[in-house]
Chains A and B, each alone.
Chain A
Amino acid sequence: MPDKTERTSAVEVFKAIGRFFGDFGEAVAHGDLWTRLSLIWMGAGYARRKKYFRAVVMTLFEIFIIWFTIAFGIRYVSKFGTLGTVKPEKVFNMQTMKNEWNDYDNSFQILLFSLFTLVVWLAAAVIWFTNVKKAYALQKLAEEGKHISTFREDVRDYIGKKFHVTLLTLPVLGVVIFTAIPILLLILVAFTNYDQNHMPPTNLFSWVGLQNFISLFGGGSLGASFGYAFVRVLGWTLIWAFFATFTNYFGGILLALYLNSKKTRLPKLWRTLFVVTIAVPQFVSLLLVRNFFSNGGIVNTICARIGLTGLLRSAGLISTSYIPFLSAPGWAHVMIILINIWIGVPYQMLISTGVLMNLPADQLESARMDGASRFQVFRHITMPYLLFVTGPALVTDFVRNINNFNVIYLLTEGAYTTTNQVLANAQAKEVDLLVTWLFRLTQDYYNYKMASAIGIIVFLICAAFTLIAFNRMIRGDREGTYQ
């Protein structure tokens, strides 16, 4: 059901913006006194048309914005260009046993609150423009002698044709404050020198342009180590995301098929046993598995006892007195993917089971009667159906795995020491994903600027991948298909 009003091509957007301001211009040009007064007093238009409740709301809103700007916003936005210049100074007062501080700047606070203020201002501007247009619309209605909606009718609108406003206000507000503003903030940090030498409140940081991105790609004072580490970590991130996604996907489907087979006795019991592994929180199960496979852990003890360690050692596969399951490159990479299968397959099995239950039974039956082998049925009926239904989820899973912090962090943090000096010099490890690397950079080295730069790169990779995958896999909008 493609909807013409919903087109979002760039042209349409610009047209919409143009219309928005065009209408505003018309309102100002042709509005009467009260409409024009709305430019200064936002409640004017409503007050004239006896919509007193709205008039009061808009007036209070205006007062709030002015107060907010003077008392809060302007203090920070005025320093946005420099991110602050006054360092903290203090004098100790023996009487109060307290320090008396000067009014010092905190670069991070300036950045955060400026951003916050700018978002509020943007919102206020949109409301201000719209308000004038509304006043004009009301004026026109009045001039034409048409009915002007009453307060009760307005309220009813919010559970009627404007119900989406009621529904979306709070969720969008939550997303703006807790996701959008923080992300914008860290995008900005990527263009500053916020690091251990410039940490608020004692020190200030400032804008440095593209310097961090230059360092990331091997230029700048850091030499090649950051660039090298970036390429290595990016490579493993992509390999990991690929294997983690597809092993889980096909592992889950195979397990589901196997359990769904008529030959399985007590399928419910088996399924439940697998589901139990999902129910153990990851930080418990992964930390446990990490200790299970640690250099001095139980698996190593058993391997040494049965002579496996000695065998591998004499075969030249290991040089240590233990099997470095999670402590040597190669070994650790394979183990991480295997452990991820352990963690993820039951979950994927649940999804696949649900999908398979709805597999069109008539198709299966007729294919069987035509003498198709089980593999052929799987290849030509089951798999295409599964791919059709769960294909889009594959894309989101891939993106989620690029950002899969838990598995890598819990399995390797504090347990894996790299033997690659160049990587170590950039605080990276062979098993790091871009997200775990940036997490360590912020947690242990307070290197927020590099972490933010890496974060932006992660975003670009995910965005590029998603765009390509969605365009290839899902042509057009699927949402109308079933309606």
Chain B
Amino acid sequence: MKIMKKVLAGMLTAAMLCTMAVPAFAGDESISLTLWGAEEDQALLKELVEKFEEQYADFSFDIRIGVESESTAKDTVLTDIEAAADVFAFASDQIFDLQKAGALATLSEYGAVLENLAGKTLDDVKAANAAGAVSAATVDGELMAFPMSADNSFFLYYDKSLISDEEAASWDTLLDAAEKAGKKVGYTLASGWYNSAFFYGAGLTTGLNADGTTAIDWNTVSPDGISGVDVTKAMLKIAAHPAFQAVADGDLSNQIASGKLCAVASGTWDASAVQKAFGDGYAASKLPAFTAGDKAVEMAPPFGYKFVGVNAYAENIGWAILLADFLTNEESQVARFLQRQIGPSNLNAAAIDEVQENIALAAVVEEGNYGIVQMVGGKFWDPTATFGEKIAQGTIPADDDAAIQAALDSLVEGVTAPIE
């Protein structure tokens, strides 16, 4: 028993040490804030933070900038909300999960801060940004984050030296033209973000229930009279075309660089890679239309935004609100566009000439006419990715309506499953 005694005595000493190591917060001379942004944004954020500190020169700040990609912000934040950054950028589809976990500060509670120190109201913020961005940042009638950009969608890049603008307007002509040119058309089927564009286009929908589960009607007939089976058949037909190439999610930029593609569906983040690959033929437009049943259908991709949110558990939450607002104001959004070609959500920033002349952004704006805000819960992604992969690999028989219906039913069952 002696050994146990010593062991435990040692443990207690360690326990004592650690209780004392819990920090007491130092005096409030310097306001400390942490900020997360994408790897590529680091230089820009540094500049913006310096400007922020200049604007509030009466106060001394200690602002630390960390790297966290907008696409993975939710995962890191939710692992330990209290340890996450005070201010962080994230993609709009994460807002529901973040809000549900209580990670985001409800901005209206801090209206006084904006009024007293930034000289504007929350309504000014709403009015300054595109209506779509504001509505996507609103959950249960409350604005939960500041819109930062409005280009998180995808559209068609094509090489106009091989494909004419008319040919790029529909899948049938596009694929035939690509086959003639001996090249391929790349599209990511195995992802609910990309493949839902077919279903949304046909008027089928998804939605988010109050309990966090997803509502989906892809196994029914849409108000436009197009059934999920028709859409799936159209997708299978496209996927079976010899000029079609299913690209794995995340492998897109490799495929673009490989030079095998003459057209690809992607977003502004690949603009420079595509420009390099297509050279003078570089062109972009809305996604091509497809034929479901006997109707021509325009695709409707999820149209997303990037937001800057404030951690509800931030220590200096008032200052965090101010910083988040500053990082997304007109001036900052212009700077972001000039450095990184990211499409502003701020209406004034979007109106400047440089933005208007950008080819990729013009395509995003055009796509915005068709795009929709994707409302889905966490259970949406795996089942839809699998559904897309099945289409890509052709494991669903294209002429068997019953089998397609069964596959859709099974998809719906997975997506609508309760969150356990």
Q: A residues touching B (Cβ–Cβ < 8 Å)? A: 20, 61, 64-65, 68, 71-72, 88, 92, 94, 96-99, 116, 119-120, 122-124, 126-127, 130, 162, 164-165, 168-170, 172-173, 176-177, 195-197, 199, 201-203, 215, 220-223, 225, 294-296, 319-321, 324, 327-328, 414-415, 417-425, 427, 443-447, 449-450
**Among A130, A223, A327, A444, contact of B5 (Cβ-Cβ < 8 Å):** A130
B116 contacts across to A, CB distance below 8 A: 94
B364 at the interface (CB under 8 A from A): no
- Bound state CA distance, A359 and B19, in angstroms? 56
B54 at the interface (CB under 8 A from A): no
Instruction: Please encode chain B, from 234 to 257, with 1 for each CB lying within 8 Å of some chain A CB and 0 for all others.
Output: 000000001001111111001100
Chain B nearest CB: distance from A340 CB in Å?
22
- Bound state CA distance, A61 and B382, in angstroms? 54
Q: A61-B9, A424-B382, A446-B79 are in contact. List 16 more A-B contacts (CB 8 A).
A: A20-B1, A71-B19, A92-B112, A97-B316, A123-B7, A123-B11, A126-B1, A196-B419, A201-B82, A201-B102, A295-B248, A296-B251, A417-B190, A419-B390, A421-B386, A445-B378
Chain B nearest CB: distance from A280 CB in Å?
22
Residue contact B414 to A425, C-beta cutoff 8 Å: yes
A162 contacts across to B, CB distance below 8 A: 2
B30 at the interface (CB under 8 A from A): no
Contacts A/B (CB < 8 Å), 19 sampled: A71-B19, A88-B102, A97-B31, A116-B15, A120-B15, A126-B4, A126-B8, A172-B7, A195-B420, A196-B101, A196-B212, A202-B103, A296-B255, A319-B394, A321-B245, A328-B393, A415-B248, A422-B414, A424-B414
**Among A64, A221, A415, contact of B16 (Cβ-Cβ < 8 Å):** A64
A320 contacts across to B, CB distance below 8 A: 246, 392-394
Q: B residues touching A (Cβ–Cβ < 8 Å)? A: 1-12, 14-16, 19, 28, 31, 75, 78-79, 81-82, 97, 100-103, 109-110, 112-113, 116, 190, 211-212, 242, 245-251, 254-255, 258, 312-313, 315-319, 378-379, 382-383, 385-390, 392-395, 407, 410-411, 413-414, 417-420
CB nearest neighbor in B for A101: B313
Do A173 and B10 contact each other (CB < 8 Å), given the known contacts A94-B116, A415-B248?
yes
Residue contact A127 to B255, C-beta cutoff 8 Å: no
- Bound state CA distance, A282 and B410, in angstroms? 37
- Bound state CA distance, A288 and B317, in angstroms? 43
**Among B11, B113, B393, contact of A419 (Cβ-Cβ < 8 Å):** B393
Do A425 and B15 contact each other (CB < 8 Å), given the known contacts A199-B101, A417-B190?
no
Residue contact B102 to A120, C-beta cutoff 8 Å: no
Chain B nearest CB: distance from A215 CB in Å?
7
A425 contacts across to B, CB distance below 8 A: 379, 382-383, 410, 413-414, 417
Chain A nearest CB: distance from B235 CB in Å?
14
Residue contact A296 to B258, C-beta cutoff 8 Å: yes
Chain A nearest CB: distance from B34 CB in Å?
15
- Bound state CA distance, A72 and B18, in angstroms? 12
CB nearest neighbor in B for A71: B19
Give the 5 A-B CB pairs with smallest separation, nearest first: A202-B102, A123-B8, A97-B318, A425-B414, A424-B386
Residue contact B11 to A127, C-beta cutoff 8 Å: no
Most buried by B among A72, A123, A320: A123
A449 contacts across to B, CB distance below 8 A: 420
- Bound state CA distance, A225 and B413, in angstroms? 10
Do A68 and B12 contact each other (CB < 8 Å), given the known contacts A98-B315, A168-B3, A319-B394?
yes
- Bound state CA distance, A419 and B2, in angstroms? 58
- Bound state CA distance, A61 and B100, in angstroms? 45
Residue contact A68 to B14, C-beta cutoff 8 Å: no
CB nearest neighbor in B for A93: B318
- Bound state CA distance, A340 and B236, in angstroms? 35
Chain B nearest CB: distance from A401 CB in Å?
26
Do A424 and B385 contact each other (CB < 8 Å), given the known contacts A195-B420, A296-B255?
yes
Do A417 and B389 contact each other (CB < 8 Å), given the known contacts A177-B11, A294-B251?
yes
Chain B nearest CB: distance from A22 CB in Å?
13
A123 contacts across to B, CB distance below 8 A: 4-5, 7-9, 11-12
- Bound state CA distance, A423 and B313, in angstroms? 36
**Among A124, A319, A423, contact of B393 (Cβ-Cβ < 8 Å):** A319
Do A195 and B386 contact each other (CB < 8 Å), given the known contacts A94-B112, A120-B15, A203-B102?
no
CB nearest neighbor in B for A73: B15
- Bound state CA distance, A443 and B72, in angstroms? 11
Residue contact A124 to B395, C-beta cutoff 8 Å: no
**Among B211, B319, B407, contact of A421 (Cβ-Cβ < 8 Å):** B407
- Bound state CA distance, A162 and B1, in angstroms? 12
Residue contact B382 to A127, C-beta cutoff 8 Å: no
Residue contact B14 to A177, C-beta cutoff 8 Å: yes
Chain A nearest CB: distance from B56 CB in Å?
11
B211 contacts across to A, CB distance below 8 A: 197
Residue contact A421 to B383, C-beta cutoff 8 Å: yes
B254 contacts across to A, CB distance below 8 A: 296
Residue contact A443 to B12, C-beta cutoff 8 Å: no
- Bound state CA distance, A119 and B211, in angstroms? 38
A220 contacts across to B, CB distance below 8 A: 420
Chain B nearest CB: distance from A29 CB in Å?
20
Residue contact B1 to A68, C-beta cutoff 8 Å: no
B102 contacts across to A, CB distance below 8 A: 88, 201-203
- Bound state CA distance, A214 and B280, in angstroms? 61
A173 contacts across to B, CB distance below 8 A: 7, 10-11, 14
Residue contact B420 to A215, C-beta cutoff 8 Å: yes
- Bound state CA distance, A320 and B394, in angstroms? 8
Do A98 and B3 contact each other (CB < 8 Å), given the known contacts A120-B11, A296-B255?
no
A126 contacts across to B, CB distance below 8 A: 1, 4-5, 8
Residue contact B417 to A225, C-beta cutoff 8 Å: yes
Residue contact A94 to B113, C-beta cutoff 8 Å: yes
Residue contact B395 to A319, C-beta cutoff 8 Å: yes
- Bound state CA distance, A427 and B379, in angstroms? 9
- Bound state CA distance, A425 and B213, in angstroms? 13
B395 contacts across to A, CB distance below 8 A: 319, 419
Chain B nearest CB: distance from A428 CB in Å?
9
**Among A97, A176, A296, contact of B11 (Cβ-Cβ < 8 Å):** A176
Chain B nearest CB: distance from A317 CB in Å?
13
Residue contact A68 to B414, C-beta cutoff 8 Å: no
Do A324 and B393 contact each other (CB < 8 Å), given the known contacts A124-B12, A127-B8, A127-B9?
yes
B250 contacts across to A, CB distance below 8 A: 414
CB nearest neighbor in B for A88: B102
A417 contacts across to B, CB distance below 8 A: 190, 248-249, 385-386, 388-389
A415 contacts across to B, CB distance below 8 A: 248
B414 contacts across to A, CB distance below 8 A: 225, 421-422, 424-425
Residue contact A98 to B318, C-beta cutoff 8 Å: yes
B112 contacts across to A, CB distance below 8 A: 92, 94
- Bound state CA distance, A141 and B414, in angstroms? 74
- Bound state CA distance, A417 and B194, in angstroms? 15
B242 contacts across to A, CB distance below 8 A: 321
- Bound state CA distance, A94 and B211, in angstroms? 34
- Bound state CA distance, A130 and B101, in angstroms? 48
B15 contacts across to A, CB distance below 8 A: 68, 116, 120
CB nearest neighbor in B for A162: B2
- Bound state CA distance, A186 and B335, in angstroms? 47
- Bound state CA distance, A176 and B14, in angstroms? 12
CB nearest neighbor in A for B14: A173
CB nearest neighbor in A for B3: A165
Chain B nearest CB: distance from A107 CB in Å?
13
Chain A nearest CB: distance from B173 CB in Å?
21
